[in-house]
Amino acid sequence: MKQFTFRVIIQKDTSGFHGFVPSLPGCHTYGENIEEVRKNIKEAVKGWIEATKEQGWKVPNDEGIETIESIPYNYA
């Protein structure tokens, strides 16, 4: 079995949280909390991969690079 690794973005929404995978177009989910979104996005990714393979299409690699930087800024 092949293992895939994808970046997942989770953002606060008006009434919960929205999660999506940038490298998998249309792979989105929603949850009332972050834990629910994490569970739902795993299911969404599995379904996305299965549907893609059934169509005979290639599953894309996640080529994105993401970092979080702390930028010092003096408010004085």
Q: pLDDT 10s per residue in the chain (76 long)?
A: 778 889 899 999 999 999 999 999 999 999 999 999 999 999 999 999 999 999 999 999 887 777 767 777 877 6
9-54 CATH fold: Double Stranded RNA Binding Domain (3.30.160)
Phi-psi region at 66: left, alpha or beta (left = phi > 0; alpha = psi -120 to 50) = beta
- pTM of the full predicted structure? 0.79
How far from 72 is each of 33, 34, 69, 75, CA to CA, in Å?
A: 31, 28, 10, 10
